[in-house]
């Protein structure tokens, strides 16, 4: 709609496309809730006063009307769903826009992977804006399927969907002034740059922020969030499947800094999306703590829009895109109607328009002739190993030490002490790399778990009680062209094929959720203590989250940012 027409519409001199009557407007700009009528033309809100006539009239019967919800930071690939299927799960919950960092598929397929995600969204009722991946690979301590330099990213800056630089996980390189990191920061100067700096504080945090990083989603304590807010960052409060930090971080929020607090899921599995919801689930959690509903809704709308400079999103007021959600109340935040650019796209929990389909894309698994011999760890009796310690509901790990079992001159898993072998098998370039270490916290008594979802390089990660079952699990993931598997006694007990980049399924959310549920039940039958072992396992390969992680090149001491031996010196 041209400017002159918008002015005429806003003055009520011509019939508009849509008038929403009898609603309680949640105004995230003023902080008020009041009775209003909302006029929309050309997908844009032109007025919130009475006096408009519309071609279509929607009477909300006194329901609340708020802006469409915005996820400040999500990796859609981590849902294991394609963009259309992800939209089918979250749009009926009130989400109309997500800011995504496609670094999962970019680590597998490079720029082609980013374009695949964007192309998949073309017919979707969900807007996808991209923070271009800053760390492909996340570190030089691993082997990924692609490498993206500043020169590779520069041509994408002309794309309307590219709005900034994604989470800068290499914070050691940033504060050390690494040339490749600085080149990316220079390229994105003046644009939003997302951070990823768990536990960073003091002078190092000051240096990280001074480099141009404006947000962080990795806070795990109120004190950490408070320091980052005080130093000018936006804090994205996260509630994913593997990392749940929202309730702890809310303690850092107050009326003076709440406008710099946003909501994100980061990584959430399909079962969680279907049972708990998306950003709407976080709104419920926030309000249950006693925080005013309007403040909660600001965290899910206007705060995020302002952080990313999205001047036309995040509110219901003249000139804003007419992304809106009708709620029965401001406690359950159950979406009854969802509008995208003034069109109803979901009603009573279901999408009502075509979601489109994803274009075709394959997987690459260059793992030939894998066998148990590749998993052997020579060792002597009485040897102590460094052990990755699982932390419940977190993606950080502990750095433990334990005497490991030795059989026939090789260190082996010891289910009795919950000290299991973990391996990362390189699958992109056919290097033959296999990183080996030990982990504690899975509780498996037999069998093995393997997955091609292993952040961020997405090699094959496997945890198990015997080398034979671990090898069988790796072989099955490879022959499926990607996916997740539980193996017991050399046989497949459950699996979840992920043929799209080894990360995603073409199936709808309920079907993928069912397969994931089957995996978790099969793992539990083998003694696994974790609620979602595959989500936990996927982060054991991410060498930017303290303390110990494993890549195809070996065990990583994240604090020292270097490869260390699996055994104590």
pLDDT reported for residue 392: 83
- Shared-domain flag, residues 407 and 290: no
Report pLDDT digits (tens) over 124-166.
Answer: 999 999 999 998 998 889 999 999 999 999 999 999 999 999 9
**DSSP string across 20-49:** EEEEEEEETTTTEEEEEEEEEETTEEEE-S
Q: What is the pLDDT averaged over residues 259-282?
A: 95
189 CB burial (10 A radius; 0-12, 13-18, 19+): exposed
**360 CB-near residues (< 8 Å, 6+ apart):** none
- C-alpha 454/C-alpha 237 separation (Å) is 23
Specify the CATH number for the domain of residue 227: 3.20.20.140
Asked if residue 4 belongs to a domain, the reply is no
- Shared-domain flag, residues 127 and 262: yes
Q: Is the pLDDT of residue 569 over 80?
A: no
| Confidence category of residue 486, pLDDT binned at 50, 70, 90 | very high
Three-class SS state of 420: strand
Overall domain count for the chain:
2
- Shared-domain flag, residues 80 and 218: yes
pLDDT reported for residue 421: 98
Report pLDDT digits (tens) over 376-413.
Answer: 999 988 899 999 999 987 888 999 999 999 999 999 99
266 CB burial (10 A radius; 0-12, 13-18, 19+): buried
Asked if residue 22 belongs to a domain, the reply is no
Asked if residue 166 belongs to a domain, the reply is yes
Query: Is residue 244 reached through a cis peptide bond, with omega within 30 degrees of 0 on the bond before it?
Result: no
Report pLDDT digits (tens) over 242-255.
Answer: 788 999 999 999 99
Report pLDDT digits (tens) over 342-362.
Answer: 999 999 999 997 676 667 777
Asked if residue 355 belongs to a domain, the reply is no
Asked if residue 346 belongs to a domain, the reply is no
- C-alpha 569/C-alpha 40 separation (Å) is 69
pLDDT reported for residue 530: 94
Asked if residue 56 belongs to a domain, the reply is no
Report pLDDT digits (tens) over 188-236.
Answer: 999 999 999 999 999 999 999 999 999 999 999 999 999 999 999 999 9
- Shared-domain flag, residues 283 and 421: no
**Six token digits for residue 48:** 């919130």
Q: Is the pLDDT of residue 544 over 90?
A: no
Asked if residue 358 belongs to a domain, the reply is no
Domain that holds residue 376: 372-564
| Confidence category of residue 506, pLDDT binned at 50, 70, 90 | very high
- Shared-domain flag, residues 260 and 395: no
pTM, two decimals, is 0.91
- Shared-domain flag, residues 444 and 539: yes
What per-residue string of b and e applies to 144-156 under the rule 16 or more CB within 10 Å gives b? bbbebebebbeeb
Residue 434 phi/psi, 5° resolution?
A: -140, 115
Query: Looking at residue 559, what DSSP letter applies?
Result: T
- Residue after which a domain boundary falls, among 296, 316, 349: 296
- Shared-domain flag, residues 256 and 137: yes
Helical ranges in 72-197 per DSSP H: 83-90, 103-109, 111-120, 150-153, 171-175, 179-187
Q: Is the pLDDT of residue 447 over 80?
A: yes
Q: What angle do CA 486, 444, 536 make, to 5 degrees?
A: 70
Q: What is the mean pLDDT of the chain?
A: 95
- Residue after which a domain boundary falls, among 269, 296, 323: 296
- Residue after which a domain boundary falls, among 264, 296, 328: 296
């Amino acid at each position: 709609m041209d400017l002159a027409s918008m002015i005429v519409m806003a003055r009520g001199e011509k019939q508009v496309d849509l008038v929403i009557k009898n609603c309680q407007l949640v105004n995230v700009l003023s902080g008020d809730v009041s009775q209003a009528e909302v006029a929309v033309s050309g997908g844009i809100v032109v007025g919130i006063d009475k006096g408009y006539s519309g071609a279509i009239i929607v009477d909300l019967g006194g329901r609340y009307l708020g802006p469409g919800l915005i996820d400040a930071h999500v990796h859609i690939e981590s849902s294991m769903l394609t963009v259309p299927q992800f939209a089918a799960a979250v749009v009926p919950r009130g989400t109309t826009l997500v800011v995504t960092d496609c670094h999962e598929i970019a680590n597998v397929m490079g720029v082609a992977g980013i374009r695949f995600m964007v192309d998949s969204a073309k017919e979707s009722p969900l807007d996808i804006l991209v923070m271009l991946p800053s760390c492909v690979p996340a570190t030089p301590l691993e082997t990924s399927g692609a490498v993206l330099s500043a020169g590779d990213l520069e041509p994408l800056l002309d794309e309307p969907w590219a709005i900034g630089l994604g989470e800068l996980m290499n914070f050691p390189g940033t504060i050390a002034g690494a040339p490749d990191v600085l080149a990316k920061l220079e390229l994105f100067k003046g644009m939003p740059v997302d951070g990823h700096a768990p536990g960073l504080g003091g002078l190092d945090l000051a240096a990280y922020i001074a480099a141009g990083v404006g947000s962080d989603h990795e806070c795990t304590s109120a004190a950490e969030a408070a320091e980052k807010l005080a130093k000018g960052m936006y804090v994205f409060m996260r509630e994913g499947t593997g990392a749940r930090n929202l309730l702890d971080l809310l303690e850092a929020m107050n009326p003076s800094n709440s406008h710099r607090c946003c909501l994100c899921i980061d990584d959430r599995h399909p079962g969680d999306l279907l049972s708990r919801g998306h950003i709407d689930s976080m709104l419920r959690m926030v309000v249950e703590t006693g925080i005013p509903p309007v403040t909660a809704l600001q965290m899910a709308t206007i705060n995020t829009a302002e952080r990313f400079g999205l001047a036309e999103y995040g509110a219901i007021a003249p000139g804003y895109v007419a992304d809106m959600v009708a709620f029965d109340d401001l406690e359950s935040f159950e979406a009854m109607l969802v509008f995208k650019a003034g069109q109803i796209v979901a009603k009573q929990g279901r999408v009502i328009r075509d979601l489109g389909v994803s274009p075709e894309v394959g997987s690459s698994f260059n793992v030939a002739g894998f066998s148990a011999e590749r998993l052997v760890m020579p060792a002597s009796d009485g040897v102590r190993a460094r052990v990755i310690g699982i932390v419940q509901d977190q993606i950080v790990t502990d750095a433990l030490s334990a005497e490991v079992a030795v059989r026939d001159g090789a260190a082996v898993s010891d289910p009795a002490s919950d000290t299991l072998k973990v391996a990362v098998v390189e699958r992109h370039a056919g290097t033959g790399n296999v990183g080996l270490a030990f982990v504690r916290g899975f509780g498996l008594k037999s069998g093995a778990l393997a997955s091609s979802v292993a952040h961020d390089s997405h090699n094959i990660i496997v945890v198990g009680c015997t080398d034979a079952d671990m090898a069988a699990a790796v072989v099955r993931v490879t022959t499926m062209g990607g996916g997740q598997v539980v193996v017991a006694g050399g046989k497949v007990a459950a699996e979840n094929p992920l043929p799209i980049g080894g990360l995603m399924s073409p199936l709808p959310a309920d079907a993928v959720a069912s397969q994931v549920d089957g995996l978790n039940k099969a793992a539990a039958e083998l003694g696994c203590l974790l609620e979602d072992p595959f989500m936990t396992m996927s982060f054991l390969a991410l060498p930017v989250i303290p303390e110990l992680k494993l890549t195809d090149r070996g065990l990583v001491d994240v604090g020292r940012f270097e490869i260390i031996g699996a055994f104590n010196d």
